[in-house]
């Protein structure tokens, strides 16, 4: 590994602070000082234990420990519970909320995709598909990048 890491003094970086080559900072001035230190000195070699802590295997073990995944996997599934209780709602039955959401999305797509309906609701004509001038004015990607036309 043989490198320094300069990272913010933040709870998300707490794990890395235990390593000797991790330089944490709190202010912009402190950041500059830590970078200068990292560039002017050699990092300490990591011990085998520290190298293991940074491995994928150790990270996976930490993940399993904190995720309670074993508890979830050992619980009986909701399908097993339903079978014991008797007849239940079908798993494939659509959710009403999802159906309404899909219908609203479809309606929105239909209304905003039609230039006539957009004009009726107050949209400026010919603004649905922007051109190169709009891109320059609004600092957007060119239309061929945003809406590519494939030749196959």
pLDDT digits (tens, 9 = 90+) for 100-133: 888 898 888 887 778 888 888 888 887 777 777 8
CB 5 within 8 A of CB 20: no
The verdict on 30 and 52 lying in the same domain is no
**Are residues 109 and 122 located together in one domain of the fold?**
yes
- Assess if residue 101 is contained within a domain: yes
Q: How many domains does the chain have?
A: 3
What does the DSSP assignment read for 55-123?
SHHHHHHHHHHHHTHHHHHHSPPHHHHHHHH-S---TTSPPHHHHHHHHHHHHHHHHHH-HHHHHHTTP
Q: Quick check: 139 pLDDT over 90?
A: no
Query: 39 and 53: one domain?
Result: no
> Is residue 60 in some structural domain?
yes
Q: Which domain holds residue 31?
A: 1-44
Tens of pLDDT, residue by residue over 53-88, are 989 999 988 888 888 777 766 665 555 655 655 555
Which stretch of DSSP H or E encloses residue 136? helix 132-138
Asked whether the beta carbons of 25 and 9 are under 8 A apart, the reply is yes
Burial class (CB in 10 A: 0-12, 13-18, 19+), 35: middle
């Amino acid at each position: 590994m043989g490198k320094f890491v300069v990272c913010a003094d933040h709870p998300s970086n707490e794990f890395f602070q235990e390593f000797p080559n991790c330089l944490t900072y709190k202010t912009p001035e402190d950041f500059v000082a830590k970078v200068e230190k990292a560039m002017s000195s050699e990092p300490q070699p990591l011990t085998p234990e520290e190298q293991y802590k940074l491995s994928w295997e150790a990270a996976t073990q930490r993940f399993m420990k904190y995720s309670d995944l074993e508890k979830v996997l050992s619980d009986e599934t909701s399908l097993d519970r339903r079978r014991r209780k008797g007849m239940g709602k079908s798993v494939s039955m659509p959710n009403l909320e999802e159906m309404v959401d899909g219908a609203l999305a479809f309606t929105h797509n239909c209304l905003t995709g039609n230039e006539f309906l957009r004009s009726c609701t107050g949209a400026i004509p010919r603004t649905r598909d922007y051109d190169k001038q709009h891109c320059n004015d609004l600092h957007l990607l060119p239309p061929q990048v945003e809406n590519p036309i494939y030749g196959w």
